[in-house]
Structure formats: structure tokens, C-alpha cells
Structure 1
């Protein structure tokens, strides 16, 4: 009886040892699996609105497709495009204006995903100024981040819709803290974004009128762009990336509170969880459009981006006719 019991115990120990070894080998095999690195050149530092791109430690959106995201910060959409043209990155997180400028210079690029189909730019003024429509901007001083920023470009788009040009207003470079000059009366209005307005409201800005550029020309705020070379040579990687990004966006839309909490760790502007949540909710809204509802997240609209290109030429921002149907590809968002 003792012998039988000893044999049984020994057998159990052997099974446990084999199971432990097998588990260890499986963990080593998983750990040893190489992920394909996809380099994303952003227009900015890692910020809360991009949390879905920054949480690889906690979430497996990209790992599940065999990808590892390498986030490359920048200082504007032009930076992001320079990084893909130089080969430092695979994909540019950029804006249509920067795309138009690069295409105007003869660069061969492809648009593969519509990150924010909603235009998030605006022009804000104090109610006492009584600026309620684009026509009211005539003769006014208007602040912009810089003369090369999206705030100026979108301001010009808005003016164009009212039959006005840059000559009809006085544009003032105010820097990123552009709401201070508005509150101090140094400008009559300021061109900004929805997230900038949230930050200003948290700091005491109230009683304002807001002209939303999307009400006049709703070109996307941000898009994913690649070079023709990358598009031709890395289609499988791009397909996996788009699928992963769609999944990560769905998560941020359905779990904004979790995303806001994780942004505290990953975003340079993410110290305040409540603030993060407001920003993330705005970007979730900007990620959705009629086209994304009918097709899928990231769905591109050729006619809208063409309208933007035509407007940029009319405004003198570019001098070439751009044919966006030759630039936009929908291989990955169908």
C-alpha cells in the first residue's frame, strides 16, 4: 500500500514538473515572438487625445496583430511628413494642410485612414464683440498659434466661405497660449481648436461665441499618410496597423474613463484625469462621421479632401491642381 502511494505521489510530482516546464517553455516562446515595429511619426508629443496609440503596456491592440508601435513625436504635421519622406517613420499622423503642401511640392504620398473626419478648428470671440458669423470678422484682429499653423489655414478657409481674404483682417501670432490675448482684449477673436477651448474654459474663459469651421467646410482634422514606396512594399503591415488602430479607437470610444486614467501615465498633458476625459470625449466625437457609420472607422471621403485641396489653391496656399482620387486609397478600411 505504501509503495503504491509512493508511486502515485511520484507520478503527481512528475506531472507537475512537466506542466511547469511546458508552461515555462510556452511563456518563453511567447516572449521570444518578434513583433514587427511600425513607426508612427506624430505631429505632436504624446498627448491625451492619442491615448489609444500609447497604451501598449496595458492593451494588446497592436500586439495581437504582431505589431509594436514606435511613437515618434514631432512639432507639426509638416514634421510628421518629413519623417516618412526621410525613412525615419512608416506612417505620418498629420493634417490635410500638411499633405496638400507636400503634394504641391511633388511628393508621392498616399492617404490610408481618416483619423478625425470632423474639422475641430474654430474661431472664438467674446460675446461682447458680437461676432456671430464669418462676415463679422472683417476688419478684426484675429489671433493664430503661428502663421504656419492649422489655426491660420483654417481661419483662411472660414474667411473664404464668407468671401473674405487675409487682407480683410489683421492676423496676429499669439503662440499656443492664444486665449490670454483674447481675454485681455489684445485681439477681437482667436483661431483655435475644440480642445484648446476646453482648456481655456477650465481657466476661466466664459461668455464666448464660437464659429466652427466644420459648419462651413468639414475637411478632416487628421489623417494617416504614407509614401507610395511604403504603400507598395508594406501593404500587409499597413493592413494590420489599420485593423489594430480601429480596435484601439473602438476601445477609447466605449471606455473613455479607462482611457482618461491611462492618459495620466502616458500623455505629457495627462496629469488631470477629468481634463483627459473631456479631451478624449471630444476626439471620440471627431472620429465618427456619416461615412464611418456607413462603412468603418477611418473611412475616407475623396470629395471632401478634394474640396479642401481646391480651397487651399484658391487661397494661394498651394499653386498646383491636386487630384485627391489619385492619392486616397481605401484598401484597408473597407
Structure 2
């Protein structure tokens, strides 16, 4: 058994039940891997924990990858965890905000200025010719639906699972602007250092095969995953909510590309467009060629493909 550690962007929460279920299901053990998980607070923290030697691989987002590459870090993206963009902007029906263009002059909440909610809000605004100067961005914390519900914000940037939980807590009628309708940037990727990529290919290949098996299990058996989340996830106390969150994550794990080529496959065009957008926004300074960063040779083949 080889020890292998993931640096996560989050605490052990229900949407990653396929990883948390390892003691029960043994997907990684079957590939000779003793799995460990280091929690983090955002994709940037995941990359930092990996770079500091606490983990072998980072479970991170494209924005954090772009920012790290811009600082000169030598990184490789090896698996597309969630090909679908799960970020959105939510506004009460009464606000009259129906599209990204309607956000001009409005007060919009984000989790933090280091979060995907902030970066994806900027991307959304950019796609309709607006910038941060055209809105008022307010840091509202992880409970950012509370200020919205209390009328302190006109809209809030969130994720699909955040919106689900808010609706369960009494969020009223809202309009939801999906960032993926403007730019369907993947939500999360597995990223390693170039040195790890070159030195540990057989181990990484086994890890990705095990991860693919765990993701396929959660897609095939969401009810079983929701039950396991009751004891494995720190936020998993409600089985019905677990199931809805897991179904959302399952949907974000698949795309036309993965349907064709198998789980984990990249849409290089989307990642390149994201990098170009971040540069035009001034979030990164250097041009990035994502063909140099994305490597698909370790991703397991779809069953039946050569």
C-alpha cells in the first residue's frame, strides 16, 4: 500500500462522499493506495498545501490554477473532476435582475475575495461588457444568503449546492443566472507539480483509476452515497439533503466530452478561454498556453475504448 494524500479545497463535506466512503468501499485500497485527505479553505489553499509537501495532489479550481501558474509555479492538470461550471448569481424575483446585464449598479455578495464566487462573478460581468467598477461587491461570508434574504444585497454569487441549502432554509422566489451559460469553465481539477507528474506516473495512474471508479459509483448509486454521508461527512446529517447535493455533484461530473471519452476528460477549449478571460480581466499578467499545462495521458480509458 502506498500512501497518497489529497489536498482538498474544503472540509470533508457530503459532495465529496465518493472520497469519504473509502473506509466503506475501498476503491483506492483496491489499487494499492492508502488514501489520506488534508482539508483546505479554497482552491488556493489546496495548491499551497500541495506545494508545501503536505499532499501529493490538489483538488482545486481553474482560477486557483491560473493564479498559481501566473506566479511561476510549475503545475500540471491531470483530471477534470467537475467539467461543468457550478457557479451562479442569485437574485430575488422582486429585484428585477434576470440577466448578467441587469447587475449594473447592484450590490452583490461573494463568499470572499479569494473564492470562486468572486472570480466567477467577474467572469460573468466581463462576458456582458461590465466590470467590478460597475457593481458594488460585498464580502458576505459562507452564509451569504442571509444578507440577501434580509434585503442587504440585491444579488449574491453562489454555487449550486449553496443555493440548494439556502432553498431548504426558506429562500423565497429567485432568479438564477448560471455562469456556465456565459463560460462553462470546469469547477474543479486534479493538479500536481510537474516534478510529481514526471516522477510518479504509475502511482498517479492508479490514483486516477480509483477516483474514476469512486465517481462512477456515486453516479450509479447516489442513495447509497447519501446514506454513507450521514456518518462520513461533517455536514451530512440530513439524508435527503445529502442525496440532492450528491445528485448535483454527479451532474457536474459529466459533460458531452466525458460522455464520449470517459470521466475526467478535459475540454481544452474551455480552459484556454478561461485563461484568456482571466488575463483580459487583469487577474493574471502572463499569457497561458493550456496545451502545455493539461496532460490527459494518465486518465483511465472509457470502458470499451482502445
- Range into which the TM-score falls when normalised by the shorter chain: over 0.9
Q: Pick from 300, 315, 318: which aligns with 2:266?
A: 300
Q: Pick from 74, 82, 92: which aligns with 1:126?
A: 92
d(CA) in 1 for partners of 2:236 and 2:162? 14
Match of 2:173 in 1: 207
Regions of 4+ moved over 4 Å = none
Match of 1:26 in 2: none
Structure 2 residue matching 1:106: 3-state secondary structure = coil
Match of 1:22 in 2: none
Superimposed CA distance per residue, residues 49-95 of structure 1 (whole angstroms, 9 cap, x where no aligned partner) = 10111112111211111111101111111111012212211110000
Match of 1:190 in 2: 156
Q: Which residues in structure 2 correspond to 1:1-334 (within 5 Å)?
A: 35-333=1-299, 334=301
Computed over aligned residues only, the root mean square deviation of the Cα atoms, in angstroms, reads 0.7
Structure possessing the higher radius of gyration over alpha carbons: 1
Structure 1 residue matching 2:266: 3-state secondary structure = coil
d(CA) in 2 for partners of 1:84 and 1:195? 26
d(CA) in 2 for partners of 1:206 and 1:226? 42
| Deviation, structure 1 residue 206 | 2.0
Match of 2:304 in 1: none
d(CA) in 2 for partners of 1:304 and 1:98? 15
Which runs of 5 or more structure 1 residues have no equivalent in the other structure? 1-34
Structure 2 residue matching 1:304: 3-state secondary structure = helix
Superimposed CA distance per residue, residues 199-240 of structure 1 (whole angstroms, 9 cap, x where no aligned partner) = 000010121000000011000000000000100010001000
d(CA) in 2 for partners of 1:102 and 1:121? 21
Structure 2 residue matching 1:268: 3-state secondary structure = coil
TM-score normalised by L of structure 2: 0.97
